[in-house]
């Protein structure tokens, strides 16, 4: 589960649910990074992301992505 909580030209903050991997892993489960990019693309937003912090699969909470190299 991924829910966008904040969106600007430089950053996006999402809520990542418990059990969701932060980034792609061998399980093939839907991950927060890929899902966030998909949501942005569906909204006609630039979907290039840089992970600023990760959360383990078993942890729910906020993740921050930079939306451009300069912000990262």
Q: Model-level pTM? A: 0.92
Can you give the pLDDT at residue 42?
A: 94
Digit-coded pLDDT (tens) for 6-65: 999 999 999 999 999 999 999 999 999 999 999 999 999 888 999 999 999 999 999 999
Tokens for 51?
A: 């992970």
Residues with Cβ within 8 Å of 26's Cβ and at least 6 positions away in sequence, in order, are none
pLDDT at 32: 97
CA angle 4, 53, 13 (to 5 degrees): 15
Q: What is the pLDDT of residue 46?
A: 87
- What is the predicted pLDDT for the residue at 47? 86
């Amino acid at each position: 589960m991924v829910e966008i909580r904040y969106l600007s030209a430089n950053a996006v903050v999402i809520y990542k649910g418990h059990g969701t991997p932060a980034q792609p892993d061998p399980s093939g489960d839907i991950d927060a990074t890929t899902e966030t990019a998909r949501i942005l693309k569906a909204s006609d937003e630039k979907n290039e992301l840089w992970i600023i912090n990760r959360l383990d699969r078993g942890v729910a909470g906020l993740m921050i992505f930079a939306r451009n190299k300069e912000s990262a």
